[in-house]
């Protein structure tokens, strides 16, 4: 094979960085012909059960109800390999943000309506360096066991592929089949912390080598959203989310080849934005924490919603769990409890808004008053309501 053809065949080594479009991927295949051990949790498990399926792709459970996947993976049901499935909340779908860049990366997060009872993932704080070994876990297309070969020719500037004997082939690989299996594999980071213009994502990459790790892995159709883990002194860290593969130049569909690459979103780069959602109180309105009833206004009805719920429960509220869609956002002060402090916080915001020179007219309090009282009167009313509420709750708690 001429040097020109070799050069064209290996353009994939730089194409990923230069923004050349590549195919979305959804699965992990490995070079080893014996992979029974790879379809169940490895002995040194980085988070096998946390990696599930969504919309034909993969996703990773982060903790506190939150799941992360690739943006181009759609779907609203998160299915685990233990047979359980969980529905995504209609109110918690978040596109991860880039830092200082106008476009959003190929990452999204959603929150489940039920707690799957899985451990939280620790996210890497720095991108893995070149040569770092990673473990890739995803669900998707399997490969055929037979090794295949292809000759490459380049009449003009178009690389043409012709299947031939592996003994004399320019490129080796495997055909992909129709079945899909969740599996894990290993690889080494070949490039790190690079910005991909084609999907506006900060990535690191691995290269699929025939003489690589024991279970050399490559992302193929079926694996977007899958997890990429690295070991550390503190245990396993979630370092990346698989988003795409970079095939060889003009590579035909339906095959996986040695020399191709996988691209992973670098979660260390997006860590702060991801954790800002995961660690946010589930029952606090992320648009405006004082807007308990989510009607776009801050008014005394927001405080009344908390008061009524505390009276109904006859106790303070534990708001550490997941909030159901459509319920009020009771946790105004973010302490994961429903209590009189939330009521006072709402009235404090009402008073602050009333003191602003351009404040809009406040909503009518509690529906029964014809006029809005002065801010000081509102605060007194809040204190009075809170005192009455405490008086009602404390005897009930003593009897419990």
In a domain, residue 183? The reply is yes
Tokens of 289: 């924490």
Q: Examine the domain organization and report whether 138 and 34 are in the same domain.
A: yes
pLDDT at position 14 over 80: no
What was the pLDDT predicted at 171? 95
What was the pLDDT predicted at 3? 38
Q: Examine the domain organization and report whether 103 and 238 are in the same domain.
A: yes
Q: Examine the domain organization and report whether 96 and 185 are in the same domain.
A: yes
In the chain, % helix, strand, coil (3-state, to 5) comes to 25, 35, 45
What is the count of structural domains for the chain? 2
Q: Examine the domain organization and report whether 262 and 324 are in the same domain.
A: no
Q: Examine the domain organization and report whether 332 and 242 are in the same domain.
A: no
CB atoms within 10 A of CB 137: 28
In a domain, residue 94? The reply is yes
In a domain, residue 117? The reply is yes
Adjacent-strand bridge partners of 66: 63, 111
Q: Mean pLDDT over residues 95-112, rounded? A: 92
Q: Examine the domain organization and report whether 93 and 149 are in the same domain.
A: yes
Nearest to 302 by CA among 285, 321, 324, 281: 285
Burial call 292-308: b when 16+ CB within 10 Å, e when fewer: bbbeeebbbbbbbbbbe
- 196: region left, alpha or beta (phi > 0 left; psi from -120 to 50 alpha): beta
In a domain, residue 294? The reply is no
Tokens of 123: 């996210």
Q: Write the CATH number for 210.
A: 2.40.10.120
Task: Using alpha carbons, list the distances in angstroms from residue 196 to 20, 94, 172, 193, 204.
Answer: 9, 21, 27, 10, 10
pLDDT at position 24 over 50: no
Confidence of residue 35 (pLDDT cuts 50, 70, 90): low
Q: 3-state SS string over 89-131?
A: EEEEEEECCCCCCCCCCCCEEEEECCCCCCCCCCECCCCCCCC
What was the pLDDT predicted at 155? 73
Q: Examine the domain organization and report whether 237 and 349 are in the same domain.
A: no
Tokens 């094979």, residue located: 1
Last residue of a domain, one of 209, 243, 278: 278
With residue 305 as reference, give the H or E element that holds it: helix 300-313
pLDDT at position 376 over 50: no
Q: Examine the domain organization and report whether 263 and 321 are in the same domain.
A: no
pLDDT at position 396 over 80: no
Note whether 21 and 199 are within 8 A (CB): no
What was the pLDDT predicted at 304? 85
Domain housing 70: 3-278
What was the pLDDT predicted at 170? 94
Q: Mean pLDDT over residues 25-41, rounded? A: 64
In a domain, residue 206? The reply is yes
Q: What are the tens digits of pLDDT across the range 133-168?
A: 999 999 978 889 899 999 999 877 788 999 999 999
Confidence of residue 204 (pLDDT cuts 50, 70, 90): very high
With residue 300 as reference, give the H or E element that holds it: helix 300-313
Q: Examine the domain organization and report whether 375 and 267 are in the same domain.
A: no
In a domain, residue 290? The reply is no
Task: Provide, rounded to the nearest whole percent, the portion of the chain with pLDDT above 90.
Answer: 46
Q: Examine the domain organization and report whether 270 and 384 are in the same domain.
A: no
Adjacent-strand bridge partners of 171: 150
Confidence of residue 383 (pLDDT cuts 50, 70, 90): low
pLDDT at position 364 over 60: no
What was the pLDDT predicted at 392? 57
In a domain, residue 224? The reply is yes
In a domain, residue 105? The reply is yes
What does pLDDT average to over the chain? 81
Q: Examine the domain organization and report whether 273 and 307 are in the same domain.
A: no
What was the pLDDT predicted at 372? 38
Adjacent-strand bridge partners of 207: 261
What was the pLDDT predicted at 214? 85
Q: Examine the domain organization and report whether 351 and 202 are in the same domain.
A: no
Tokens 């012709």, residue located: 162
What was the pLDDT predicted at 15? 36
């Amino acid at each position: 094979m001429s040097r020109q053809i070799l050069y064209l065949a290996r353009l994939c080594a730089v194409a990923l960085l230069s923004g050349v479009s590549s195919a979305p991927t959804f699965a992990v295949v490995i070079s080893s012909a014996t992979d029974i051990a790879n379809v169940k949790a490895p002995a040194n498990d980085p988070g096998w059960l946390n990696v599930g399926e969504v919309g034909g792709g993969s996703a990773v459970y982060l903790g506190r109800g939150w799941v992360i996947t690739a943006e181009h993976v759609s779907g609203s049901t998160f299915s685990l390999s233990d047979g359980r499935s969980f529905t995504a909340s209609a109110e918690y779908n978040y596109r991860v943000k880039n830092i200082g860049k106008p476009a959003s990366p190929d990452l999204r997060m959603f929150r489940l309506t039920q707690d799957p009872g899985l451990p939280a993932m620790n996210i890497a704080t720095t991108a893995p360096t070149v040569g770092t070994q990673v473990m890739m876990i995803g669900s998707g297309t399997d490969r055929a066991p037979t090794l295949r070969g292809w000759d490459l020719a380049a009449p003009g500037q178009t690389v043409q592929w012709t299947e031939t004997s592996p003994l004399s082939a320019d490129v080796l690989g495997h055909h992909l089949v129709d079945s899909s299996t969740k599996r894990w594999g290993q690889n080494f980071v070949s490039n790190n912390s690079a910005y991909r213009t084609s999907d506006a994502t900060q990535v690191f990459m691995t290269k699929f080598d025939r003489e690589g790790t024991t279970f050399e892995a490559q992302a193929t159709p079926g694996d977007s959203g899958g997890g990429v883990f690295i070991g550390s002194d503190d245990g396993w860290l979630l370092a990346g989310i698989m988003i795409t593969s970079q095939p060889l130049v003009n590579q035909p569909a339906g095959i996986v080849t040695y020399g191709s690459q996988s691209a992973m979103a670098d979660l260390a780069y997006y860590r702060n934005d991801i954790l800002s959602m995961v660690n946010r109180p589930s029952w606090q309105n992320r648009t405006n924490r004082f807007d308990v009833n989510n009607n776009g206004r801050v008014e005394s009805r927001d405080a009344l919603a908390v008061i009524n719920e505390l009276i109904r429960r006859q106790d303070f509220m534990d708001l550490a769990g997941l909030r159901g869609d459509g319920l009020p956002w009771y946790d105004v002060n973010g302490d994961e409890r429903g209590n009189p402090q939330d009521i006072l916080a709402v009235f404090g915001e009402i008073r602050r808004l009333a003191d602003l020179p351009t404040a809009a007219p406040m909503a009518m309090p509690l529906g029964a008053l014809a006029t809005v009282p002065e801010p000081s009167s509102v605060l007194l009313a809040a204190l009075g309501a809170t005192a009455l509420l405490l008086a009602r709750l404390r005897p009930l708690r003593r009897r419990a």
